[in-house]
Amino acid sequence: MSVSGHRRPESLAHAEPEASQGRTDAAVAVRGRGITKAFGDLVALDHVDVSVAQGQIHGLVGPNGAGKTTLLGLLLGLAVADEGSLEILGAPVGRGLPAPDGVSGFVDGPGLYPTLTARQNLATLAALSPEEVPAGGVDEALEQVGLTEAADQKVRGFSLGMRQRLGLAAALLTKPRLLVLDEPSNGLDPVGKKHVYGVLRRLAAGGATVILSSHRMDDLEALCSEVTILATGRVVFSGPLKKLTDDNRELDYRLRASDPSAARAVALETPGISLIENADTAASPDTDVIVVRARVAALDELVARIVRADTAVRELAPVVSPLEAAFLSLTEQLTPTEQEAGR
C-alpha cells in the first residue's frame, strides 16, 4: 500500500506501491487508488493507494488514529470510501455495489453472542450461509484455533484471547480468499498465538490473502512479508518487510561482553561505532551492558576486534527491532503541523 503527496525518506519513497509492481491483475487481491475517507472534518484516510498481492500476509501498522481500522473496515465492506477506487478479488467495490464474495474478518473485536457457547456461535453463523459452510465446518474451525476443549462453554466466560480465536474461527467458516483482521493477536497467550499464526500461514500457503493490523512489531516480523505503515491517514511506506529491515541503517545494539571495560575501549576505537551514553535505551541497571550505534558492517568489525582483545561477546541484539526502528523514524518525522494537515 502506498500514498502520494507525503514527505518520505528518499531511500524508502515509492512513486508506486512496490507491492504492486510487476504484478498482473490476477495476482492482486486488493487494489485501491486515492482512497479518501472523512468523518466530518476529520480525514481518516487521505488519498491512500493500496496494493496487496494474493497469497501474502500483509501487515498494517501505524500510530493510534493512523487510519488502520478505517481502511480495514472499507475492505470488509463496513463503510465506503468518499473518494477513490477500490477493487477486491477482481471486483469493484463501492456505494451500491454488492460486497465481493470470499472476504471475511473483523474490526474492533469479533461480534459474538455472549450467552451462547463457542459452538453455538459458529453454528448460528453457519446457518446463515449453509451453502458456504461444509459439513463439519464448525468443528474444523474450532479445532484450527485450538478451541475444541472450550467448544461448549459460554462465550461470556471467555478471555480476550479466546474471543479473538473464536472470531478467527468464525471468519474461517466460509473459507475466505481475503481475511481482514484488526489486531488479531490482542490478548493471545503463546499457545493461542501459535494456533492463530499457524492458521494464517496455512491460509496464505493455500493462496488466500491476509491483511492484518498490529501494534506488535514482533508479530508483524514473524508473520508478514509486506507491510504498510500509515501515519495520519497517509501511507509513509509500503512494500516488502525486507526493504525496511535490509536498509543498512544505523541501529542501536545492546552488547554484553565478558570484560565490559575492554569492550567499551575497543568500541571507542572502532570506526563507524558510536557509544550511546545515558540514552533511554542504555539506562539499564545492568552496568555490564553497553549500547552502541552502528551499521552492520561496523558491528562485524567491532565483534572481531573485541574477540581479538581476548574478550567474549555474550550478547549482541538490536535495542529495538529493525522494523520498529524504521517505524519510529518514519512516523516521528511528521511534525505537529504535518500531523495537523493530515486531519
Distance CA 233, CA 37 (A): 9
Residue 79 or 265: the one with the smaller Cβ distance to ligand ATP is 79
Residue 47 or 177: the one with the smaller Cβ distance to ligand ATP is 47
CB of 106 to ligand ATP, least distance (A): 13
Residue 183 or 226: the one with the smaller Cβ distance to ligand ATP is 183
Kindly list the distances between the CA atom of residue 89 and the CA atoms of 23, 56, 172, 202, 220, in Å, as whole numbers in the listed order: 14, 13, 17, 19, 23
Q: Which residues pair with residue 61 across a beta bridge? A: 229
Cell numbers found for residue 39: 468523518
Distance CA 19, CA 241 (A): 10
Nearest to 65 by CA among 50, 44, 49, 47: 44
CB of 237 to ligand ATP, least distance (A): 15
CB of 81 to ligand ATP, least distance (A): 13
Residue 42 or 328: the one with the smaller Cβ distance to ligand ATP is 42
CB of 17 to ligand ATP, least distance (A): 19
Angle between helices 160-172 and 118-128 (to 10 degrees): 30
CB of 341 to ligand ATP, least distance (A): 14
Site residues, ligand ATP (CB under 6 A): 39, 42, 44, 62, 64-70
CB of 40 to ligand ATP, least distance (A): 7
Distance CA 74, CA 179 (A): 13
Kindly list the distances between the CA atom of residue 306 and the CA atoms of 257, 298, 299, 312, in Å, as whole numbers in the listed order: 8, 12, 10, 7
Residue 68 or 177: the one with the smaller Cβ distance to ligand ATP is 68
Q: Are 3 and 228 in contact (CB under 8 A)?
A: no
Residue 297 or 328: the one with the smaller Cβ distance to ligand ATP is 328
